[in-house]
Amino acid sequence: MKNTTDYLKNVNDYQESNYRCNKCRDMMFIIQEDGTAKACECRSIRIAEDKLKASGVSEEFRKMRFENFDYSKSKETMLAYSKAKSYSKKFEELRVARQNSIIFCGQVGSGKTHLAMSIGNVLLDTGAGVIYMPYRSSITNLKQSITDEENYQREINIYKNAQVLMIDDLFKGRITESDINIIYEILDYRYFKNLPVIVTTEKSIGDLLEIDEAIGSRLYEMSKNYVAEIVGEKLNYRIYG
Ligand SMILES: [Zn+2]
């Protein structure tokens, strides 16, 4: 919203549902009964989005497009590509559905992150709020702030409430109980609020279920039709007999 005229025009043109946040109508603050302004809870999410737009990660991120993805590597890569493409095309109808998420399982170099980011870019281009959560560093940050309740809530709130959350490399590395608890808190919340996730992981759905049944089953339920497993190279080296 650039200025008051824009804002008023938008108020007249848009229905309630066109606001990304109905509580503050995208003003990021709320006027309270006593006339003072209070920051809306969506504010920290918007700030994180702007950070993504402004950060160096984002530049690399923005280069990851369907147009520069090589899907000719294997049959599974091609299948994953077409699932990703169809997900991004149907996103508007999918986002309100029970199954509104997508998950890419595959080893390093399988192209899963490229595909996830390609979807993210299509959604960003249409104005959706996409939050990028690089699993390893984000989980470390969250755990460091766990003793500071206010700080922790502010951080985790971003991942819980983002319009679209992209978790990159879920459960990479050693997994502790507090990693599981944090991820469960985020996913369970998003599951009940019907908020989509885009996940990449080296684990299979079976692995995820084994790590934590509640997390695995939530993720599967949210993305059923859009589970893309890219085993890739491994296939060529598998020894039969
Ligand atoms: Zn708001």
Ramachandran area for residue 148 (φ above 0: left; ψ -120 to 50: alpha; else beta): beta
Q: Are residues 35 and 54 in the same domain?
A: no
The list of the chain residues with pLDDT below 70 reads: 1-17, 51-57, 232-241
For residue 103, the CA-to-ligand 1 centroid distance in Å is 29
**pLDDT tens digits, one per residue of 47-65:** 777 766 655 567 778 889 9
Query: CA 203, CA 171: separation in Å to the nearest integer?
Result: 8
Q: Are residues 121 and 25 in the same domain?
A: no
Percent of the chain with pLDDT strictly greater than 70: 86
Q: Are residues 175 and 134 in the same domain?
A: yes
**pLDDT tens digits, one per residue of 153-166:** 988 999 999 889 99
For residue 174, the CA-to-ligand 1 centroid distance in Å is 37
Residue in 235, 230, 161 with CA at minimum distance from that of residue 200: 230
For residue 25, the CA-to-ligand 1 centroid distance in Å is 6
For residue 67, the CA-to-ligand 1 centroid distance in Å is 35
Q: Which residue do the tokens 């590395």 mark? A: 173
For residue 80, the CA-to-ligand 1 centroid distance in Å is 35
For residue 3, the CA-to-ligand 1 centroid distance in Å is 17
Q: Are residues 95 and 65 in the same domain?
A: yes
For residue 18, the CA-to-ligand 1 centroid distance in Å is 13
Q: Are residues 10 and 121 in the same domain?
A: no
What letter represents residue 122's amino acid?
V
Q: Are residues 32 and 125 in the same domain?
A: no
Q: Are residues 222 and 108 in the same domain?
A: yes
Domain that holds residue 84: 43-237
How many other CB atoms are found less than 10 A from the CB of residue 41?
A: 15
Are 99 and 222 within 8 A, CB to CB? Answer: yes
Q: Are residues 85 and 19 in the same domain?
A: no
Quote the number of domains for the chain.
2
For residue 44, the CA-to-ligand 1 centroid distance in Å is 9
Q: What is the CATH number of the domain that holds 163?
A: 3.40.50.300
pLDDT for residue 232: 55
